Amino acid sequence: MTAKNTGTMVAVRVRAEGDVDAEALAYVQSKVDALLDRPGVPVADGEVRIAKAAAHHTARPWTAVAELVVRNTYVVVHAQEATAHELADRLQDRLRGQLTRVVHRYEAARRSATPPPWRRGEV
C-alpha cells in the first residue's frame, strides 16, 4: 500500500507481513499519512513494515518497523504492542519525536552564528 500523494513527494509505503488484516493496515497508513502531511514536516521516503506474531502466547504480538530517509537522515523506529490500534498510536508518537529531532537539527545547522571579529578583518 502506498501513501497518498498530496502535492509533495511522499513515498512512504506501509507493508504487511504475516496475518495482518486490511483494517489494521489502513489505520496505520492513516496515522503515517497524518503525521507526514503536517506543515513543516520535510519530505520522507521509506517504508513501514507491520507484522503480527503467529504465536498466541505472546503478550505483544503486533510489531512495526519504520525505516525512513528524511533530509538525508536515516530514521528507524521500532514499536511493539498488544493491538493494531495501540501499535499505530505508538508508532506515530515515536515517528513524531524522531521527525522533530531531524527538523530541529536541520534548523539549528542552518542558523549561522555571527563570525568572530578576526574573520571579518576587524581589530
* Residue range 61-110, pLDDT digits in tens: 999 999 999 888 999 999 999 999 999 999 999 999 999 998 887 666 56
Per-residue pLDDT at 113 exceeds 80: no
What's the Cα-to-Cα distance from 103 to each of 25, 67, 72, 110, rounded to whole Å?
27, 17, 11, 11
Beta-carbon contacts of 22 under 8 Å, excluding residues fewer than 6 positions away, are none
* Residue range 23-67, pLDDT digits in tens: 999 999 999 999 988 888 888 999 999 999 988 788 899 999 999
Domains of the chain: 11-109 (3.30.160.100)
Q: What is the mean pLDDT of residues 105-122?
A: 67
pLDDT at site 5: 43
The answer to whether the predicted template modeling score (pTM) of the entire model surpasses 0.95 is no
When comparing pLDDT for 116 and 6, which is higher? 116
State the distance between the two ends of the chain, measured CA to CA, in whole angstroms: 62
